[in-house]
Structure 1
Amino acid sequence: MSSADEPRAADPRARAAQTKRDRTRRALLDAADATFGSRGWARTRIEDIAAAAGVSAATAYNHFPSKHSLIGHVYAPLVRPLFVQAERDVAAGRPSVAALEDQVRALARTAARHRELSASFFSAVQDYTIRVEGPADPTDEIDPRLLAPVPDSIRLLVEHGQSTGELRAFPPAADISAMIVNTLLTRTMNRPDESADARAELLLTVLFGALRPELLLNGPADDRPFRRRS
């Protein structure tokens, strides 16, 4: 066999190896989704996830070096569509109030629909924040705050609204978006009987009370402009 033929001969083996890696990674993500959702953050070990996926713990660590990394990769697909929608809203010049209202409601529904996983993710974020004792480092490849940046879609829309003058310039977009998401995840974890609509109403009232207070002040004292009416 000539040297020119060797890469072609190796291609099927390389493709087979890559397919196997992809399947193993998918199996680990699926197992992690189910295990974090049923057992929670503290009671789940990488070894448990590996066993559920049918692989060794060493194989699991080769794909995901820590629990924090793994849950970040599991949660990321839930928030990615929200950021894509935020980008579309900004590109289309959609009014910030309407875009943010839809965004907060969608995030509240997502967190409620995946309540147990959301609680595990929030626990992982808190645990990692305490561990590193500071904000996220952009070069940190296992930080769940970077792997699944939940506040980013709200931050993007707030930044846009502040740049166009639709929203007040203070609080900064990064701060208010993090506050809204932290409150959302805390209430999702601690108030399982609260509906997503009720949670979204509270968050929207806080958000626009800071950034567009006239929406609340121009109506009657008992008005609830973000209440969903059936």
Structure 2
Amino acid sequence: MRLLVIEDDRDLNRQLVSALEQAGYAVDTAFDGEEGHFLGDTEPYDAIVLDIGLPKKDGISVLEDWRKAGRKTPVLMLTARDRWSDKVQGFDAGADDYVAKPFHMEEVLARLRALVRRAAGHATSELVCGPVRLDTKAGRVVVDGNPIRLTSHEYRLLAYLMHHAGRIVSRTELVEHLYDQDFDRDSNTIEVFVGRLRKKLGVEVLQTIRGLGYLIAPPGEAPPSPAKSSR
């Protein structure tokens, strides 16, 4: 999963990025509203953390412009604790949730997990596909009741596919959602991690659909037709 953090306080921005990366996310950053608006308008993020009080362009204006342009990316707004009006403005502008400063990092992580989960149509923190269970809260993967140890990149790949189980996901989409903007998108990293992940899972749930991409589905389930899986 790939996130964008737009926060002009460099210490807080760094703390957020560190916590999110430790939780298994790929993270891009911006320190003002103009840069943040551009990234959110041109890159396919799974969720965005957006501060209201930004230089060059305030967070409310950034969010309003995204929504007017049809951008549906879930947005977690950061607000000052004593400014209830900011929260109202944020929701009216299209925010999906908010957290007030100062905040506990665990609350931010929990709210982002919920936003990403709901955007993908899941009601709980546990994603299930046949014998594979992925707990997004604990960052834990179990196959047939046995815990599986994955690297951060393998976990990120599995999590994205599990969030979109039953749909063919192209290699391009995976690269766009699993790595930050500095990643070498011409490498064969995705193929390598798919091979490693398939071997570690040990069950036939991860399929390669030749010429189209990858699919997580219960063992024996036929892949959808290309027309139905297109974005």
TM-score for the superposition, normalised by structure 2: 0.26
More helix by share: 1
The structure where strand makes up a greater share of residues is 2
Greater relative CO, 1 or 2 (CA 8 Å, sep 6+): 1
Bigger-Rg structure (1/2): 1
